[in-house]
Amino acid sequence: MVKFTKMEGLGNNYIYINNIEEKVPEERLPELARAVSDRNFGIGSDGLICVLSPTAPGHDFRFRIFNADGSEAEMCGNGMRCFARFVYDRGLTSKTRFLVQTLAGTIVPELILGENGQVTAVKVDMGPPHLRSTSIPMAGPEREPVLDAELEVEGRRFVFTAVSMGNPHIVIFVDDVAAVDLAYWGPRLEHHFLFPRRTNVHFVQVLDSANLRMRTWERGSGITLACGTGASAVLVAAHLKGLAGREASVQLPGGSLRIEWAADGHVYKTGPANYVCTGEFLRPW
């Protein structure tokens, strides 16, 4: 039996466990992720996020995320917002701003509280974007930035910009995101040989310099309603191409995020974090 909480940020939904208390062996977390994410025989989610004690000095918590297929990701922006609310509401910290250890480095969420003291939104310092091809990572000659690069899939040419927010993203600008067959092209682009660790795939429509619309194929999870690191990468890519300013509203199928690429070089993302349910996972795994 594992106690869990299901949360969502703009429809990007994950199962959360306080593994400081649950003490699931970390080598079994990929297996648990596959079990809880199953929408027929499990709870149903985009993956599993675990609260752990930090192993790096100076941090308050450690964050691990596993996709629905059991593969581990470096970070998740929507997941981090919910993570921050989870640890605060559960009394694991009284801080409204704290340091979280992730595979993408140190992430700093800040809770925005309403008059009643409840969390109304979470702002996350996502850190600086990484634009060097070897940091994304991408195969081929090193370059920075990877702007208007080209690749071919089944005879179709795609022009993309690559950005890492601690995890890999490619951003493809189109006239109409609704017209993209995301279920077909997403997995083919995710697994392209240019990306040794695979990649998240985003198709983006520029509405104006302050408003962007995107659809996402997430590495290891498929089509999702939102992707926080992806929205951050999209704003960076749009600004690099002169299509947007340094701050914009990014519209995703699950709702909107406010993204800012600030003067300090860091990307800041603000959005909601909501509860779905709590319970006990009883199925053997």
Annotated binding site for substrate: 12, 67, 77-78, 167, 200, 218-219, 228-229
Cα angle: 89, vertex 251, 173; to 5 degrees = 135
Active site residue 82: no
Q: Decide: 267 and 2 in contact? Cβ < 8 Å.
A: no
> Cα angle at 58 between 56 and 61, to 5 degrees?
70
Q: 104-110: long-range contacts at Cβ-Cβ below 8 A with a sequence spacing of 24 or more?
A: 104/74, 104/75, 104/165, 104/166, 104/167, 105/166, 106/56, 106/59, 107/63, 107/75, 107/80, 109/80, 109/81, 109/83, 109/84, 110/84
- Taking Cα atoms as reference points, which of 83, 15, 223 lies closest to residue 5? 15
Q: What is the 3-state secondary structure (H, E, C) of 37-88?
A: HCCCCCCCCCEEEEEECCCCCCCCEEEEEEECCCCEECCCHHHHHHHHHHHH
Q: In angstroms, rounded to a whole number, what is the distance separating the alpha carbons of residues 125 and 194?
A: 29
In the set 50, 76, 82, 277, the catalytic residue is 76
Q: The tokens 């997430």 sit on which residue?
A: 218
Q: Pick out the residues of the known binding site.
A: 12, 67, 77-78, 167, 200, 218-219, 228-229
CB 235 within 8 A of CB 248: yes
- Find residue 173's DSSP bridge partners: 204
Catalytic positions are 76, 227
